[in-house]
Every structure is written in structure tokens, then in C-alpha cells.
Amino acid sequence: MNIERINSELLKQLSVIFRFELNDPRIHGMLTVLEVKTSDDLSHARVYVSYFGDATLKTETFEALNGCTGHMRNLLKQRVKMRTVPYLRIIPDDSLEQARQLTDLIEDAMDKTHETEKNYKGDENGDN
């Protein structure tokens, strides 16, 4: 089994686990598993997760998720046909938030450009 297929299967199963089976009260907000990267020897996997919710609870949520990795591995053992299930490390992925911020900056710049063009009263030759 190649690593891409393993990563894809782990991502699919972890998404289901995150959505339906983690009942820790310290886990808040909406979580999405964006990517899983398994080491070449299949002993460890980095799980990139996006978080949407109260920013003040984000740290607590990711601490709780990292505390649940043993439970997640046990659930994965029941679902995935692997000799050994990799140890999981949950990593916050802020790329969606960064993309949203970048989009907002571009839109603001475009609005300012349009305002400047609208307020310009000269003609193309520079005559007023």
C-alpha cells in the first residue's frame, strides 16, 4: 500500500472520528481534517486540522485533541487494516484563515483603487 493511499484513508477515517466520536467537552468549534502526512516508516502521522470557532478556546481544543490521540489510534485500529497504526500528532492549520485574510486585503486594495479612479477628474493627457 503506498503512502498516498494510507494518508487518504487515515484522513477519511479521522474525519469521521472527529465528527462523530470525540465527545471531550474541552473540544470546541468546528474542526476539519485537511491533510495527513505519514512518515516513510509509517510510525508517525501529522494530522493538519483547521479550527473555526471561538479563538480563545482554540488552544484548549488542540491540547484536548492531542490528549485524545491514543483513543483515536484505538479507533483507527478497528477500521484500518495496517500492521501498526501510526502515532498521531495534531497540528493546527491556519491556511484557511490566512487565505481569508489575504482575500480581505486584496478586496480592500481593489476598493481603494476604484475609489481613487472614480475621484480622478483629469483626462488621459494630464490636462485638468
Q: What is the CA radius of gyration of the chain?
A: 22
Among residues of the chain, what percentage have pLDDT more than 70? 92
**Closest residue by Cα to residue 14 from 83, 86, 84, 96:** 86
- Structural contact between residues 49 and 15, judged by C-beta atoms closer than 8 angstroms: no
**C-alpha–C-alpha distance, residues 86 and 88, integer Å:** 6
Task: Kindly report the CATH number that applies to the domain delimited by 3-94.
Answer: 3.30.300.20
- Report the predicted TM-score, pTM, of the whole model to 2 decimal places: 0.76
pLDDT number for residue 47: 97
Top pLDDT among 109 and 78 is at 78
Task: Map out the domains of the chain as residue ranges.
Answer: 3-94
The H or E element containing residue 67 is helix 58-67
Give per-residue pLDDT as tens, 40-66: 999 999 999 999 888 899 999 999 999
Reported as a single tens digit per residue, the pLDDT across 61-86 is 999 999 999 999 999 999 998 889 99
pLDDT of residue 38 exceeding 90, the answer is yes
Average pLDDT, the chain: 88
pLDDT of residue 58: 92
